[in-house]
Amino acid sequence: MSQLKRILVTGGAGFIGSHVADALLAAGFEVAVVDNLSTGRQENVPAGARFYPFDIKSNDAFDLICSWKPHVLVHHAAQMSVRVSVDDPVMDAQENILGSLNLFEAAARAKAEKIIFASTGGAMYGDQAPVPAREQDRAMPECPYGIAKLAVEHYLHFYQREHGIIPIRLRYANVYGPRQNGLGEAGVGGHLYRKISGRGAAGHQWRRSPDQGLCLCGDVVAANLLALEYNQAGIFNIGTGKETDILTIYLRLKEIIGSQQGPVHGPAKPGEQRRSALDSFLAQEKLRWQPQISLIEGLTRTTQSFQERFGSGGKR
């Protein structure tokens, strides 16, 4: 690996961030995790990482970065719900833009070398983009969540120009896998598992959803590790290039679980892209990344992890 040794992961008690922290520790890095536990779970934080239950907007988070001086900031903490961003765009901007700027200012003061930012591909390009979307396609997000992510990408260019911090922006497809929070709309796999297995609210209406590009969390973690070795600024789509409609995911999970529960369709929600899939050519060419795990295998692994976590009737 490179000479980068000390890495701070924001959102490291959450779904993707905790898996990234696991992998960084396994690779021999010194890791600290910042997470306010609003959606993350402290038990997700790996035992070998330092843990700080700070909000990314706080002076505590700022001071920690200034004193601990990480070589790399891996930024996953976010308000992650499209629906919430539509209902309250001010709050979304406070969390996703102002919170990020607080971290970046501290990183500049601490002379961090690199920031790896968990951006979005699923909400970035808008409905006018080709499918699958490429990085060179114009970003025209349809919702405040995507708008905020794009704004942060532009701020990272500023911090590169003014402070020499290398920015790597990973535009994720819709990520699924073990530890996914099934309580919100951002967790497609976990959300559907809870409903199909009878752990969700009775009478839930399955909304008519857009086609989505999905990517297993393990493949996303691999992209983060490869980004550590890439020493230039970059924007990379992290996805399979394929669309999968939510009904197909539902039916696959239903088959794996052995459930007889059928879907009830409802209307689409405001702010959603109708279609989303990402062309990952640049990630394959420059990061040497490509997805390794098929949808069927990924859903099977994810379902097994949910069954272990939720047990017989758990509500976690």
Give buried/exposed letters for 297-314 (b at 16+ CB in 10 A, else e): ebbebbbebbeeebeeee
- Reported as a pLDDT band with limits 50, 70 and 90, residue 202 is very low
Measured between alpha carbons, how far is residue 34 from residues 56, 100, 126, 227 in Å? 8, 13, 31, 20
Check pLDDT > 70 for residue 204.
Answer: no
182 lies in some domain: no
Q: Which of 89, 86, 105, 99 is nearest to 11 (CA)?
A: 99
281 lies in some domain: no
167 lies in some domain: yes
The mean pLDDT of the chain is 85
Q: How far apart are CA 298 and CA 278, in angstroms?
A: 18
224 lies in some domain: yes
Structural domain boundaries, residue 107: 6-176+216-238
Q: pLDDT tens for residues 23-64? A: 999 999 999 999 999 999 999 999 999 999 999 999 999 999
Return the higher-pLDDT residue of 201 and 171. 171
CB within 8 A of 42, min separation 6: which ones?
Answer: 13, 51, 53
Whole-number pLDDT of residue 282? 97
State the amino acid at position 221 in one-letter form. Answer: V
Whole-number pLDDT of residue 271? 54
What value does the mean pLDDT take over residues 161-178?
A: 94
Check pLDDT > 50 for residue 130.
Answer: yes
State the amino acid at position 253 in one-letter form. Answer: L
Active site residues: 145
What value does the mean pLDDT take over residues 111-132?
A: 94
301 lies in some domain: no
101 lies in some domain: yes
What value does the mean pLDDT take over residues 311-315?
A: 46
Check pLDDT > 70 for residue 96.
Answer: yes
Q: pLDDT tens for residues 231-248? A: 999 999 999 888 776 767
Please report, for the domain that includes residue 120, its CATH number: 3.40.50.720
314 lies in some domain: no
What value does the mean pLDDT take over residues 116-141?
A: 93
Is 174:124 a contact under the CB 8 Å cutoff?
Answer: no
Check pLDDT > 50 for residue 131.
Answer: yes
Number of domains present in the structure of the chain: 1
Measured between alpha carbons, how far is residue 176 from residues 91, 93, 138, 264, 298 in Å? 25, 24, 26, 22, 8
Q: How far apart are CA 7 and CA 228, in angstroms?
A: 10
Check pLDDT > 50 for residue 135.
Answer: yes
- Find the angle CA(58)-CA(64)-CA(66) to the nearest 5 degrees: 110
